[in-house]
Structure 1
């Protein structure tokens, strides 16, 4: 059997979470994809996938083999890109994941520029507040906010998010404006549920030179930024989110910042990807393009 084709097919099935979708992207009959995986499992002497009518998941052996296949295919792609006679025109497919607000506010509006500069690169973008796993999810790079914990990956800080506390004029008219952090006990909040922990995020402030963390009681809580913003606009309570998201509404008067003198410390924004030796030329090109985007944006200033 063609082992390279088998590896590529296996990786594509995991990425697509579907035999049928993988077959479409590989321009192969579904029956051929099924046969390739059966032959691969037989040759390896191990089951790689758990299959049912509705779900598809990796076995323990499948997870290990998937990570190895990803690394091998990435190395092949890197070697091919380095042999290109025109290093400024990388080719290939890049899967990237990022928070929705950064994708919609910064990356998507500039995709036409990316297409013109790198016509040989196919981008598959995931926009979600849920943190992605590069290896398990088959992703080439991610944009993350907050401190980085995974030392096995390369992380480059590209900017920062400034967090503010704000509310709609409707809410402030009904409940008044808090003048100190201590006065928040008399106010209502909307909480944001972390997709990583399933718990409400703490509210953070900077008071008298120290970082202060509070757990705010709330009647409403959501786990998606656009929904969180909408709750604030509807006057359901105070919200705490990035100035990058709130700015258009602050300028239009639909939101007003409160406790501006108690803003918490900025949150770093980084782009994370495998060690540079294993990243493909297409991935490196996308990373450098994102770095440039941030450098010319409000998010990249003040680092």
Structure 2
């Protein structure tokens, strides 16, 4: 494509909409011969006649009308792109965010109105899952993930850590008793979370005598969805080991009872992943900064 093709298209669109070479010249602050020459250059480049012009009238050919419609849409897209990346314009456009279900429920959604108030021209598209997300093929701008990261093909920013808690429904504890130490978990049933990608069951990690230990109770149920995990735990199907921020409301109301509170748990890191781009779109950049500040302010350990 010729380097000035967009300029030629812009001139042609002005001529069609104003129905006059002279009025187009005035609008673009160019000489009339320059307008006529530009339209001729566009016709030569495309190999079609765009306008029927006489000394008294100007009309658009069938091919010219099609070119006009497509050129107008193209120029609109280019203008939107330039505005989206311009430092002088507020961030705008559609922003696709994917987050694990627990993080979506407990952190992002409760504060999302604050982000929308700051950036009203950004349209949010939210997807929630506990599986690995391919940012490129799924068209996601950034992903908020819980746990240690193994995929190095994307840029990641660790924003902080969240506490874990071990608990169970009162009905479960009445039936099976209450564990006093992490070693007692071997005698209990658990609702276990497994990674859909690796199929590995999440380990329950505690700190005993200054050392990190892993304990994995016998699984009564395995799930790959944090909402299902919570529902199973509330139903008394097994013990839970999950984010405190997700389970705390149920502990406060008595629907879940915390156990092993005398043993520190190993925290889970929270990170934002995004494609490795030289020029990060402003809408993505402001979201990453906003979420990082939000997490630091509300979830410091």
Regarding TM over 0.5, the answer is yes
Q: Give the TM-score normalised by structure 2.
A: 0.68
Corresponding residue number in structure 2 for 1:113: 114
Give 1:4-43 correspondences, 5 Å limit. Answer: none
Deviation at 1:199, TM superposition (A): 3.2
Unpaired segments ≥5 residues, structure 2 = 2-78
Corresponding residue number in structure 2 for 1:181: 182
Corresponding residue number in structure 1 for 2:149: 148
Corresponding residue number in structure 2 for 1:259: 260
Of 81, 85, 90, 2:88 maps to 85
Corresponding residue number in structure 2 for 1:281: 282
Residue by residue, what CA displacement relative to the aligned partner does 1:94-145 show, whole Å, maximum 9, x if unpaired?
1111011211222223333222221221211111111212122221111111
Distance in 2, matches of 1:159 and 1:77, equals 35
Distance in 2, matches of 1:143 and 1:124, equals 14
* Larger of the two Rg values belongs to structure: 2
Distance in 2, matches of 1:185 and 1:113, equals 45
- Given that 1:194 and 1:223 are in contact with CA atoms closer than 8 Å, whether structure 2 keeps it comes out as yes
Distance in 2, matches of 1:285 and 1:78, equals 17
Asked whether 1:203 is paired with 2:171, we answer no
Distance in 2, matches of 1:229 and 1:266, equals 19
Corresponding residue number in structure 1 for 2:76: none
Residue by residue, what CA displacement relative to the aligned partner does 1:144-185 show, whole Å, maximum 9, x if unpaired?
112233344332222212111111111111211111122222
Unpaired segments ≥5 residues, structure 1 = 2-75
- Given that 1:78 and 1:280 are in contact with CA atoms closer than 8 Å, whether structure 2 keeps it comes out as no
Give 1:62-141 correspondences, 5 Å limit. Answer: 80-86=83-89, 89-141=90-142
RMSD: 2.3
- Given that 1:96 and 1:141 are in contact with CA atoms closer than 8 Å, whether structure 2 keeps it comes out as yes
Distance in 1, matches of 2:83 and 2:151, equals 28
Is the alpha carbon distance of 1:210 and 1:293 closer, same or farther for their aligned partners in structure 2, counting shifts above 3 Å? same
Q: Give the TM-score normalised by structure 1.
A: 0.68
